[in-house]
Amino acid sequence: MALTKEDLELIAEFDEAARDVSSEQIRLLSVILSENTSCEYLRQHRVSDIPTFKDRMPVIDPDVVQPIIQRIADGDPSSLLTNSQITSMIVSSGTSNGRARMVPSTMTSRQILSQRFLLSNAILKREISGNIVGKSLNFIYAGKLQTTKGGLKAGSSSTLHLRSGAHLNSLSQWTSPLGVVLGPNVQQSMYCHLLCGLLQTMDVTVVTSFLAYALTEAFRFLEEVWEELCNDIATGTLSDRVTDVSVRSAVLELLRCDDELAKKIRSECLKGWSSIIKRLWPNVVYIHTIVTGAMEPYVPYLKDYAGNVPIVCGDYGSSECTVGINLNPRAPPDEVIFTLVPYAAYFEFLELDWQEGEKLVDLTNLEIGKEYEIIVTTITGLYRYRLGDVIRITGYYFRLPQFAFARRKNVMLSINTDKTDEKELCEVVKQASARLEAGKMDLLEFTSYADHSSRPGHYTIFWELKGTVFIEDSILQFCCEDLDSSFNDPYQRGRAAGTIGPLELCIVKEGTFYNVMKFVLQSGLSPTQYKTPRCIKCTNQLNILRSSVMKIYTPSH
């Protein structure tokens, strides 16, 4: 669809704000403070204006405000964090450790979010999709909506959006009917997304999911179920695996018997999985999904499925607020940079060696090339709140900082003085798993656990391999040695001193990580936002992994 007048206005407004970021940010902070001076949190910290905010407002971890947010969720009517009416609670994925947390949402925060969606769409149209008309094969799942004790709707941002009906305008642009999106079972909906997409092969111009994980899962699933899908299309009947009545009836309305199409799909699938996206959907223009941060491990798989179809990275945000927008959708996954969205929150930054009581850096004083942790103050009543993400400044768009997502801040694995974060874990696993190719094995998923139950404690790495029948012990033994010898210096010192025990590489049965996901989703988290926890902190998840271990490797020395 071509750029509309509204699109051009949105882009112009953004550029205008980019030229005068400081004023935009100060204006936002004074609105937040003046509207909420009487709320309990600001009174408690004796903050009423910008000077008192800068002087006294403490930097906090999300856990500090969770009890207050819980009181709001339970129905406490007082203005605890904000004077604005809280309309719902966003349940965040908790990102790396799988523990969900709640964040308040208001009418204004929803408006800010939809403004950013519209801006992103306008940028995409300007940069990539131009006048293209077609449909999106969107691997989207509504997830469960819950109600808090105080009567507020609670769910992930996408769940709240999808279940509010606000997306009904987009429905005609998706290949799947509403019944599939709202379906209660992820695997059944995934099957139907594929089926509906295949029934409209010539219409699909975009293949998308919120996170790269969902897209990779969908294509791995296609590898398993393609014959069943072809059979459905050839016969005009729907597989028995789809048992949910509303999902079935939504798909049956669309399903027709098309033997020619089934033959074409079958012949493409028989050729293998590289470039399958373009071969099945010849008119696809781009793939849209988040490929940065925790999604990086999925990029090689996605690239293989994608062939030469460009992968456009989605924006960067969290349940708390939007942070960055991707102004250059043509950038390849490893070169993605985001531009700060100045109206989304009041942003401050911490140097990585920041200590309590030291000054925060504002967005006019950031240094190119340096890493910072992001602190946000939002319209929904979060003040100097640590998002837990580290970014690296790469440049400026007018006066707006541009940055690459560096990593999650949290230390994930630690036995002694060693501290291994998500980024390092992903890199070590990536290097060690490169050996798998020689044995025609493929790493599907991984996670880790700092096992303190034995003395000394040790790292456990769980791997799920594709087609586990082909396990080659000697290669996996090498992988295990590589893992153990590649972690950081403090880890190596601990290993040499015997204060850290030998690493365990556990190979789990195929499907184990799907069971971990099913378990995490029971807590109400939306499948759309699910990220595999890279470090296990929850006993139930650990039990699922441990009970599925097929083989354990430990280093020989």
Name the site residues for ligand AMP (rule: CB under 6 A). 92-93, 95, 290, 292-293, 314, 316-319, 387, 389, 405, 408, 529
* Residue 64 CA neighbour count, 13 Å, CB half: 12
Six-digit token pair at 557? Answer: 């020395």
Report the residue number, 422 or 481, with the smaller CB distance to ligand AMP. Answer: 422
Q: Min. distance of Cβ 419 from ligand AMP in angstroms?
A: 18
Q: Min. distance of Cβ 176 from ligand AMP in angstroms?
A: 22
Those residues with Cβ within 8 angstroms of residue 418's Cβ, 6 or more apart along the chain or in another chain: 487, 488, 490, 491, 494, 500
How is the chain split among helix, strand and coil, in percent rounded to 5?
A: 45, 20, 35
Q: Min. distance of Cβ 500 from ligand AMP in angstroms?
A: 27
In which residue are the tokens 């014959």 written? 227
Those residues with Cβ within 8 angstroms of residue 267's Cβ, 6 or more apart along the chain or in another chain: none
- Dihedral sign, CA of 267, 269, 274, 280? positive
Report the residue number, 95 or 188, with the smaller CB distance to ligand AMP. Answer: 95
Q: Min. distance of Cβ 291 from ligand AMP in angstroms?
A: 8
Q: Min. distance of Cβ 222 from ligand AMP in angstroms?
A: 25
Report the residue number, 81 or 290, with the smaller CB distance to ligand AMP. Answer: 290
In angstroms, how far is the first alpha carbon of the chain from the final one? 61
Length of the chain: 557
Q: Residue 138 phi/psi, 5° resolution?
A: -110, 115
In which residue are the tokens 């998500």 written? 422
CA-to-CA distance for 438 and 394, rounded, in angstroms? 37
Report the residue number, 314 or 329, with the smaller CB distance to ligand AMP. Answer: 314
Q: Min. distance of Cβ 317 from ligand AMP in angstroms?
A: 6
CA-to-CA distance for 422 and 130, rounded, in angstroms? 37
The string of DSSP codes covering 225-283 is HHHHHHHHHHHT---TT---HHHHHHHHTT----HHHHHHHHHHHHT-STTHHHHHSTT
Q: Min. distance of Cβ 324 from ligand AMP in angstroms?
A: 7
Asked whether the beta carbons of 451 and 528 are under 8 A apart, the reply is no
Report the residue number, 113 or 443, with the smaller CB distance to ligand AMP. Answer: 113
Q: Min. distance of Cβ 375 from ligand AMP in angstroms?
A: 12
Q: Residue 205 phi/psi, 5° resolution?
A: -110, -20
Report the residue number, 180 or 374, with the smaller CB distance to ligand AMP. Answer: 374
- Dihedral sign, CA of 215, 219, 220, 222? positive
Report the residue number, 36 or 95, with the smaller CB distance to ligand AMP. Answer: 95
Identify residue 545 by its one-letter amino acid code: L
Q: Min. distance of Cβ 385 from ligand AMP in angstroms?
A: 11
Report the residue number, 248 or 408, with the smaller CB distance to ligand AMP. Answer: 408
Report the residue number, 84 or 93, with the smaller CB distance to ligand AMP. Answer: 93
Report the residue number, 290 or 483, with the smaller CB distance to ligand AMP. Answer: 290
Q: Min. distance of Cβ 188 from ligand AMP in angstroms?
A: 24
Report the residue number, 326 or 414, with the smaller CB distance to ligand AMP. Answer: 326
Q: In 3D, which of 278, 293, 343, 347 has the Cα closest to residue 119? A: 343
Asked whether the beta carbons of 104 and 85 are under 8 A apart, the reply is no
Asked whether the beta carbons of 434 and 424 are under 8 A apart, the reply is no
- The residue with its CB nearest to ligand AMP is 293
CA-to-CA distance for 281 and 208, rounded, in angstroms? 13
Report the residue number, 193 or 409, with the smaller CB distance to ligand AMP. Answer: 409
Q: Min. distance of Cβ 164 from ligand AMP in angstroms?
A: 17
Q: Min. distance of Cβ 525 from ligand AMP in angstroms?
A: 8
Q: Min. distance of Cβ 534 from ligand AMP in angstroms?
A: 11
Asked whether the beta carbons of 210 and 529 are under 8 A apart, the reply is yes
Report the residue number, 292 or 420, with the smaller CB distance to ligand AMP. Answer: 292
Those residues with Cβ within 8 angstroms of residue 77's Cβ, 6 or more apart along the chain or in another chain: none
State how far the alpha carbon of 345 is from the alpha carbons of 82, 380, 547, in Å: 14, 9, 44
